[in-house]
Amino acid sequence: MLLAATSLSVPMLALAAAPTSREAELEARLLRLEAEMSAMKADLQQARADRAAASTTEAAQALTIARAAETKADAATAKLAVIEATPQPDGFKVGGTTWKMGGFVKVVGSVTRFGNGELAGGSLGKEFFLPQQIPVGGAASTDVIGHARQTRLFFSTSTPVAGKALKGHVEFDFALAAAPLGAQRATNAYTPTFRRGFISYGNLLIGQEWTTFQNPAHLPESTDFVGPMDGSIFVRQMMVQYRQPLSEGLDLYLAAENPQTETITSTSAAMVDNDQDRMPDLIAKLAFRNKTAELHVAGLVRSVSVHSAGAGDNALGWGATVGGKIMFGPDNRHDVRFMGAAGRGIGRYFTVGFVPDAIYDRAIADRLNLIGNVAGWASVKLGWTDKLRSTFMAGYQHADYPDSIPQPGLANVEAWSVAGNLFWSPVRNLDFGIEYRHAVREVASGLVGTMDRVEMAAKYTF
């Protein structure tokens, strides 16, 4: 029975344990689903890993690109700094000759009060400080004017020849030609005026240049054309000049320059241009320069000459001058400048002819009566910052007329002035300035004229 029961139960249990076809199908689906889920999880993990790897690579690439750009920028900055620090070629070459062009545009506006008279239209004294044109003996007047006549242009050349530079220079502006009447009516058309034109080879210079008797580089900064004109030497003329270096920073200049004798009569202060000179003016100058100072001393000997219609006279004129510029302070922003001169029969060298060389009047005597001169100026420049600066200046001149002959009542005897300015240079080569000047003129009759001027200027140098 036991065996029979067992033989019956075993097949039934086996039948009960055996899965049906539906269950087998479901189980198969479940297995496939689990496999797909596992595959999806694996794909997701791989995608995340790939994304992380890609992000790392992109970040590395971006960092590399940024670093490369930064390196290029640093290199460009360094290159620019080297370029800025390296002197750039000045001018352009045509064949073996280097050409240079330059100058400046200068615009000036001023308000002037003449205390003792008024100037005629077109007078240069309206636009520049000329002490001989300060009116005397009249009622006060005020003048407002603006112009760009100080604008200047030049070109120069340099050609190497036999180991030396053969140079040429031509320069002009619109300043000192007489202003044509009616120019301000519409077009303000001023005639260009020749300033300098010379050739040089080695130490030799031939042509029109600033007289060897002066050093224009020492003139103080001013809104005016010159500044302390009343105490200045101011001549440009034809010359033959030779420079001989003596030692480090020390040069000797020897020059023969164009002569010209200026006279007045005993009754008229109008200048007479005598053109019967028989020998050039002879000048010698010593000039010294180092990093903080420039000094010069010069001497002049000339023949003052008048010859006309079979009559005339010669007289020996002479003069001496000393001047300089001394820099000091942070970055040498401050400086002191000065010039002093004295002589006899050299009036035309001062202040564009404030006084003549001599009085010559045939009605009294057929001889030249030389006039003595003492003149000078001094200035102090204070560089408040690298862009802001001021200059304070004073000038003086006195004429000593001979007692042997009367002088006309309007003959200039003395002039002096004081001035101060403020200049601002917001960027390189651009200057804005404002200046106040008080000036006095005295003539032989005792009449005195005063001038007070406020002047503004804008200047672009190129």
Residue with tokens 């002879």: 282
Residue with tokens 């020996």: 316
Give the strand pairing for 388-400 and 372-383. Answer: antiparallel
Residue pair 411/443 in contact (Cβ under 8 Å)? The answer is yes
Residue pair 412/445 in contact (Cβ under 8 Å)? The answer is no
How far is residue 398's CA from residue 396's CA, in Å, rounded to a whole number?
7
Residue pair 212/218 in contact (Cβ under 8 Å)? The answer is no
Band the pLDDT of 299: cuts 50, 70, 90. very high
How far is residue 412's CA from residue 236's CA, in Å, rounded to a whole number?
22
Query: What Rg, from alpha-carbon coordinates, does the chain have?
Result: 44
35 has a pLDDT exceeding 90: no
- Cα-based distances in Å from 180 to 122, 177, 183: 6, 9, 6
How many C-alpha atoms does 387 have within 13 Å on its Cβ side?
Answer: 7
Mean pLDDT score, 36-45: 78
Residue 362 lies in a domain: yes
pTM above 0.75, yes or no: yes
Among 51-65, 168-182, 395-409, 412-426, where is mean pLDDT lowest? 51-65
Note the pLDDT tens digit of each residue in 62-78: 677 767 666 766 766 66
How many C-beta neighbours within 10 Å does residue 388 have?
A: 14
How far is residue 68's CA from residue 64's CA, in Å, rounded to a whole number?
6
Residue 65 lies in a domain: no
Note the pLDDT tens digit of each residue in 321-361: 999 999 999 999 999 999 999 999 999 999 999 999 999 99
As given in the structure block, the two tokens for residue 72 are 């290029």
Residue 178 lies in a domain: no
Burial (CB < 10 A; 0-12, 13-18, 19+), residue 49, is exposed
Residue 199 lies in a domain: no
Residue pair 402/347 in contact (Cβ under 8 Å)? The answer is no
How many separate domains does the chain show?
A: 1
Band the pLDDT of 88: cuts 50, 70, 90. low
Residue 341 lies in a domain: yes
Coil, strand or helix: which one is 124?
A: helix
The helix or strand, by DSSP H or E, that contains position 82, with its residue range, turns out to be helix 21-85
How far is residue 344's CA from residue 356's CA, in Å, rounded to a whole number?
10
CATH of the domain at 127: 2.40.160
Closest to 398 measured CA to CA, from 347, 453, 337 = 347
pLDDT for 410: 96
Query: What are the DSSP calls for 212-255, one per residue?
Result: TT--GGGSPP-SSSSSSGGG-B--EEEEEEEEEEEETTEEEEEE
How far is residue 326's CA from residue 88's CA, in Å, rounded to a whole number?
29
The number of angstroms, rounded, from the C-alpha of 75 to the middle of its chain's C-alpha atoms is 33
259 has a pLDDT exceeding 50: yes
Give the strand pairing for 281-289 and 430-443. Answer: unpaired
Domain extent, residue 397, equals 107-145+215-456
Band the pLDDT of 378: cuts 50, 70, 90. very high
pLDDT for 5: 45
pLDDT for 84: 56
80 has a pLDDT exceeding 90: no
As given in the structure block, the two tokens for residue 286 are 């010593």
Note the pLDDT tens digit of each residue in 172-229: 999 877 777 788 888 888 889 999 999 999 999 999 999 999 999 999 999 999 999 9
Residue pair 372/347 in contact (Cβ under 8 Å)? The answer is no
The per-residue pLDDT of the chain, averaged, comes to 89
- Cα-based distances in Å from 81 to 91, 115, 371: 21, 55, 59
383 has a pLDDT exceeding 90: yes
Residue pair 315/362 in contact (Cβ under 8 Å)? The answer is no
Which of residues 19 and 367 earns the better pLDDT score?
367
Residue 80 lies in a domain: no
Residue 195 lies in a domain: no
pLDDT for 215: 94
pLDDT for 416: 98
Mean pLDDT score, 53-62: 65
How far is residue 71's CA from residue 240's CA, in Å, rounded to a whole number?
58
Dihedral sign of CA atoms 131, 137, 143, 145 in order = negative
85 has a pLDDT exceeding 70: no
As given in the structure block, the two tokens for residue 261 are 């004798």
Residue pair 368/358 in contact (Cβ under 8 Å)? The answer is yes
Residue 410 lies in a domain: yes
Residue pair 319/346 in contact (Cβ under 8 Å)? The answer is yes
**Cα angle vertex 305, ends 300, 307, to 5°?**
165
The residues with which 335 forms a beta bridge, in sequence order, are 327, 381
How far is residue 210's CA from residue 216's CA, in Å, rounded to a whole number?
7
Beta-carbon contacts of residue 111 (< 8 Å; ≥ 6 apart): 142, 143, 144, 453, 454, 455
Band the pLDDT of 388: cuts 50, 70, 90. very high
Mean pLDDT score, 120-124: 88
How far is residue 451's CA from residue 231's CA, in Å, rounded to a whole number?
16
Mean pLDDT score, 147-159: 96
